[in-house]
Amino acid sequence: MKHENIVLSIVVLGTIMASIDSTIVLLAFPAMTQALNSNIATMIWVILIYVLVTAVASMQLGRVGDIYGRSRMFNLGFGLFTLASFFCGLAPNDVLLIASRGLQAFGGALMSSNSGAIIADTFERHRMGKAYGYTSLGWNVGATLGIVLGGVITTFLGYRYIFFINVPIGIVALYLGLKYIKDVNVVKERLDLRGMLVLGAGLTLLSLGGVYFASVGLDISDAVLVAAGVLVILLFLALERRTAMPVINHTLLKNRVFRNSILASLTQGLGYMGAVFLVIMYLQGVVGLDPLYASLLLIPGYVISSLLSPLMGRYSDKYGARLIATTGLVFLIIALLVYLTLGVGSSVYVVIIGSIFAGFGGAMFWPANNSAVMASSDQRSYGSSSGLLRLSSGIGLLGSFVIVIAVAAAAIPRALAFQIFVSSSHISTALADAFVAGMHVSIIALIVILVISAFLSLTRGKEDRRAATHDKAGT
């Protein structure tokens, strides 16, 4: 194999592992809660801590990769992810499981925030879309495997093996990463530790405020956390103006293609991932399906996205990202319009049709948009750019979770909303009618967000993929 294909395979393997863990935990949630004698309010943090740590850490860890070596940080992430997976499997109680998931998320953030930069280092600008198409394929394959393996492994082996399965794969991947992925153009700069700590503190406060709002509703604690987060972010912006080597390269944000692509990623995550949560809650709470069957109905979309992502990545190399990514967002809007027709007595085939449109949309948007971000970046800032991309999608995912739980809690009791989300809990007809009405209002709001995302994507301009190419790793 060519060196670049080996590097791409290792990155895709890391993507698959991280993606599997994004879905496999949901299906094992009831078994974990029962085995550890815990409760939903505590165990929900097994899910939330992963999203929270990934969202907060990605930006800073990409910058660390620029300065200390992207391959070093990527391989360190593989090692931590593998070790933490082993600790998750051994965890004797819910507190240690949550802590191990936090460490696992930190390892995943090291991988994801530097993987995009490694691809950009390895592939020439006019071939990046193809590479990101394969990483998108890896994400969809992992999500599908997580759904299937989560049900099968938990049923026949026990929930601990959903974590242990990562260990042998991680060891092999770490060996290959150390052997084949080498650093290219390490930046000779200082690390802005002060800026990183202030930004991390601000994002953590904002994220915790959102999570607590979703968990317990609006109260003084939420308001204090959010207000403190905003103030810390403002402090970060003020400090960065006086820093010679800031955490975020402000010159990149002057590039319209880069800026609009990042904002499109943020609004796409905010506008679509919430719909996925809502549909899963609908299938479990209103239709009465268990988590495995509910998730299986979304697999057609994952399969379509897996098959088409590499092709759409190549098209974005040839024609640019703007029209392809924007068309993908239009398909996602159509998917939400399909979900908007769901009612108490609707056929589950409506969900399958919506997932098919979503599959086309995801295959067109993600490879094209990701490659546009990296193709518009300065090579010295590839890690920062990749981290910022992960940060935007992570904030979108976290924000979408807050929106969904808040909407569900406005229609049905908040505790029941969590119960539906993490397990099978069929609700009464009266509550089902209220939930569906709230779901429709939420989907309309999500459609508006996706329309904004499509506008940002359409007005980004066209990136220059003919720009001077760079030396590739291993050459």
113-172 confidence digits (pLDDT tens): 888 889 988 888 888 888 889 988 888 888 788 877 877 888 788 889 999 989 999 999
Q: Where are the domains of the chain?
A: 3-192+245-458, 193-244
At residue 82 the predicted structure's pLDDT band, cuts being 50, 70 and 90, is very high
pTM: 0.85
pLDDT exceeds 90 at position 205: no
Domain 3-192+245-458 has CATH 1.20.1250.20: yes
pLDDT exceeds 90 at position 77: yes
Q: What is the CA radius of gyration of the chain?
A: 21
Quote the tokens at residue 8. 């791409």
CA distance 358 to 215: 28
Rounded average pLDDT over 397-411: 77
At residue 223 the predicted structure's pLDDT band, cuts being 50, 70 and 90, is confident
Q: What is the pLDDT of residue 471?
A: 41
pLDDT exceeds 90 at position 81: yes
Rounded average pLDDT over 47-73: 83
Question: What residue type is 323 in one-letter code?
Answer: L
Rounded average pLDDT over 45-74: 84
Average pLDDT, rounded, for the chain? 85
Quote the tokens at residue 6. 């080996």
**Counting beta carbons within 10 angstroms of the beta carbon of residue 121, is it exposed (0 to 12), middle (13 to 18) or buried (19 or more)?**
buried
54-65 confidence digits (pLDDT tens): 877 877 888 888
pLDDT exceeds 70 at position 188: no
Q: Are 117 and 382 in contact (CB under 8 A)?
A: yes
Rounded average pLDDT over 40-67: 82
302-361 confidence digits (pLDDT tens): 889 988 999 999 999 888 899 999 999 999 999 999 999 999 989 999 999 999 999 999
